[in-house]
Structure 1
Amino acid sequence: MDTRENIDEVTEPRETTSGLSTRADPLHPGDPRELGDYRILGRLGEGGMGTVFLGRGRDTGLVAVKVIRADVARIPRYRDRFRREAAVARRVARFCTAEVLDVVDPPDGQPYLVTEFVDGPTLARAVANHGPLGSADLERVAVSVAAALTAIHGAGLVHRDLSPSNVLLSPLGARVIDFGLARVTDEAPSGPSGRVTGTPAFMSPEQARGETVTSAADIFSWGGLVIFAGSGRKPFGDGPTSAQLRRVQQADPTLGDLDPALAAVVRAAMRREPARRPTAEELLRRLVRPGDAAQTIVTSPLDILPPRPGPSTSSATSPAAPRTPPTGTVSPRSRPAPAAAASVSSTSGPVPAASAA
């Protein structure tokens, strides 16, 4: 069997950028200097499938160009993954990702994807260079990634690899990138695949077991990402991939010193049972309306159904009226709540601007 077959199914990130994306690393001797209409200026990041370069187009200004490695491009499964990433990324609202500008897929050459250049580091790089985010910045990232997931899931997609290396910190908010492992909801397999894909410490328990993955897995990963951003630590610890996968399935994550209100949302997002996790819309509502009761993010039927009426029924047992959609912005910390657990780790794909490998 070709040893490259599982080249990036479970990978740790290999980032080569410095703090700001605009400081691209120098090109290597074998790197392209031009690709089609784009002049290649430097390297932004590298991952299992290829390399992301900083480029400049004749009419587009700065761009990020993700070039698939020649040996990987020869494997049909990875060629299909590249095509799926390009198609899926175009379905996502532009505000929450790096917009796809061009897709080149020559039959006998290396395919590449050109996206908008996002001038900012990944969350992984920002934390590595400057430490955990302060509380206000942490809330901004938590809200913007939850908003991105709302758009992604609303487009009928599941990302399946939400991690700090796949979130870019743009000056206008966080962007979620790298849709190479994403699935269209109605195309998801109907049963367990047995294949573990993604970033170990950010996987949901069902993902770590190789079971069917739904949008609830992205919610679990969101919780781990928030913990990492606020603490700089992986909630399930370091170590070999096998150990991380075991802890994701069996251990309780460590929340660190998150604000109690944010910790309560993270704890709900990281429930072991997928059906009991909040949706992305519910996450966003709770984050922008911190005064709402905790029940607003409970999705299990056992938790949301009103009690059965007894011999005498009072207004306290009536179902609550539906809540109006959120219209506010992130409030400072004036919140309730307990603390709890979550998860974090590295990623599979290039790092800074554009979709990762």
Structure 2
Amino acid sequence: MQGGPLNQGADLVRFSGGGPVDRRLCPHTARRVRPPARRRRPLPADQGAPALPSLRPGMTPRRKGGPPRLSRVARPGRRTVTARRLSENGVPASSAHLSWLPGLSSGRTTLVSAVLGRRVPMKPLEPSDPRTIGGIEVHGRLGEGGMGVVYFGVTPDAEQVAVKVIRDDLAGQVAIRERFDREVLALGMVHGPRVAGLVAAAEPGADRPWLAMEYVRGETLREYLAVRPALTAEMGAALGVLLAEALTDIHAVRVLHRDLKPGNIVLGSDGPKVIDFGLVALEDAGDDLTRTGTRLGTPVFMPPEQVESAKDLTPAADVYAAGVTLLYALTKHYPYAHKNEHALYYAIMNPDNEPDLSGLPASLAPVVEAMLAHAPESRPAPAEASAEFRRVLDAAGLSVNDARTHFATLTYVERPDDPPSDIEPPKRPARSRHRERSVPRPVVASLADRLAVAYAPGPRL
């Protein structure tokens, strides 16, 4: 194709994808003309790669005409920027992505929503969301449910927490308020390495109730088993010992969980931890929240007495739920499987209907079967079940500590959507020089004392 010569004074524009492009149109195609790319001369055989310029510490190479360029890569439903990373000697090493969730209207990033090299699908804060809650700096949304919103926050002590806030339209309802108060009280009372601890909470009677629990990194047991094989007998025994330890700590303060299941067990870096005390019950309190005929809990993990009514339960109900959890972790099935909820309830409550224990390791079958006994008084206490699990570990030549370490190493998986671990805590306000010094007390102990007085068991509960 032949065409007229290009004007010497033609304006040139530089695109990110290549060399200069002439603004003049080709007379034949009416398209802008890009000059042919210049071929690079090959290096002589005895000559290696060109030497890189020496860089002093703190220097980064710059291209001609400005700072290193960011190339934008379009992806459906997400805005992504590919940034060029530099290795220690300043040579471009690889590409890492800074990703945003769909729906962000601005191009700004935060420390949580944009992390080099990893995708963080935590929802950004909405304009109506608080930026601080009780001195806790809020960074994003972890989730939202029917009762409220869960935020990710950092305390002034650099502790990462999950902050649960009740919805404004529900905070005034007596039943919802008392249920939330019970969760706060239970978390303040329960202490142990196998339970996610309470860090802070709103004052009793606050307009908008909230509580902050420690943020546990890792997958839930449900998420872990969804894409991996069932646990071995030894790891199942290790899980049994650790769950029994959690139930012992929970029941020691006369608290019932009432919703123990794989989705409420987080597999942290130091072992499993029980979370979500939203359906907690206090043994000494009259339960106005659960009347006869009311069912609270997850059906497939509920014992017969809980199917009948969530009132007047004993610690044996949590033992049953732990048995179902272990059965599922070891076999990937439940003791009773029915698509119809009413049929499931009937199967659980029928004493002649034996649970399905197929696939359960022979060494664990007796203790798991005992935990799933129909009568609450026939089930072992957490300490008794733990002794049976320890015998299985002893037969395998594993101590409890070695089994816990092995279990944590096997099951801890860093989630790609976990917030970064190096977020700076909020700055503390300057203290007055004339302020009286108070004797520091542990946050949880102080909160438990205050809540125990404010929500002492009585007719209201």
TM-score, structure 1 length as denominator? 0.70
Quote the Cα distance in structure 2 between the aligned partners of 1:239 and 1:152.
Answer: 32
Task: Show the counterpart of 1:198.
Answer: 297
Task: Show the counterpart of 2:325.
Answer: 225
Quote the Cα distance in structure 2 between the aligned partners of 1:291 and 1:173.
Answer: 16
Quote the Cα distance in structure 2 between the aligned partners of 1:269 and 1:78.
Answer: 32
Post-superposition Cα deviations, 1:215-254, rounded to whole Å, max 9, x if no partner, equal: 1111111110111222333332252433332222124322
Pick the aligned partner of 1:39 from 137, 145, 165. 137
Task: Show the counterpart of 1:114.
Answer: 212
The more displaced of 272-281 and 153-162 is 153-162
2:375 aligned partner, one-letter code: E
Sort the Cα spacing of 1:24 and 1:247 in 2 relative to 1 into closer, same or farther, 3 A.
Answer: farther
Task: Show the counterpart of 1:216.
Answer: 316
> 1:140 touches 1:330 (CA, 8 Å); kept in 2?
no
Task: Give the CA deviation at 1:59.
Answer: 2.0
Task: Show the counterpart of 2:369.
Answer: 267
Quote the Cα distance in structure 2 between the aligned partners of 1:100 and 1:291.
Answer: 32
Quote the Cα distance in structure 2 between the aligned partners of 1:213 and 1:234.
Answer: 22
Sort the Cα spacing of 1:107 and 1:329 in 2 relative to 1 into closer, same or farther, 3 A.
Answer: closer
Quote the Cα distance in structure 1 between the aligned partners of 2:259 and 2:232.
Answer: 25
Work out whether 1:257 is the aligned partner of 2:359. Answer: yes
Task: Show the counterpart of 1:207.
Answer: 306
Task: Give the CA deviation at 1:183.
Answer: 1.9
2:148 aligned partner, one-letter code: G
Quote the Cα distance in structure 1 between the aligned partners of 2:130 and 2:291.
Answer: 43
Quote the Cα distance in structure 2 between the aligned partners of 1:117 and 1:108.
Answer: 23
> 1:200 touches 1:245 (CA, 8 Å); kept in 2?
yes
> 1:52 touches 1:66 (CA, 8 Å); kept in 2?
yes
1:1-357 correspondence runs (5 A): 25-27=122-124, 29=126, 32=129, 34-36=131-133, 37-105=135-203, 109-187=207-285, 193-210=292-309, 212-250=312-350, 251-290=353-392, 329=400
> 1:290 touches 1:331 (CA, 8 Å); kept in 2?
no
Q: Which structure is higher in RCO with an 8 Å CA cutoff and minimum separation 6?
A: 1
Quote the Cα distance in structure 1 between the aligned partners of 2:194 and 2:277.
Answer: 12
1:157 aligned partner, one-letter code: V
Task: Give the CA deviation at 1:28.
Answer: 6.2
The percentage of aligned residue pairs carrying the same residue is 33
Post-superposition Cα deviations, 1:130-155, rounded to whole Å, max 9, x if no partner, equal: 34334443332221111111111122
| Greater helix content | 1
Structure 2: 5+ residue runs without aligned partners?
Answer: 1-118, 404-417, 420-461
Task: Give the CA deviation at 1:89.
Answer: 1.0
2:298 aligned partner, one-letter code: T
Task: Show the counterpart of 2:444.
Answer: none
The more displaced of 269-278 and 185-194 is 185-194
Quote the Cα distance in structure 2 between the aligned partners of 1:157 and 1:106.
Answer: 20
Quote the Cα distance in structure 2 between the aligned partners of 1:46 and 1:112.
Answer: 14
Task: Show the counterpart of 2:67.
Answer: none
> 1:143 touches 1:288 (CA, 8 Å); kept in 2?
yes
Quote the Cα distance in structure 2 between the aligned partners of 1:92 and 1:64.
Answer: 17
The root-mean-square deviation of aligned C-alpha atoms, in Å, is 3.0
Quote the Cα distance in structure 1 between the aligned partners of 2:170 and 2:229.
Answer: 34
Quote the Cα distance in structure 1 between the aligned partners of 2:245 and 2:312.
Answer: 24
Quote the Cα distance in structure 1 between the aligned partners of 2:238 and 2:393.
Answer: 17
Structure 1: 5+ residue runs without aligned partners?
Answer: 1-21, 293-326, 333-351
> 1:62 touches 1:116 (CA, 8 Å); kept in 2?
yes
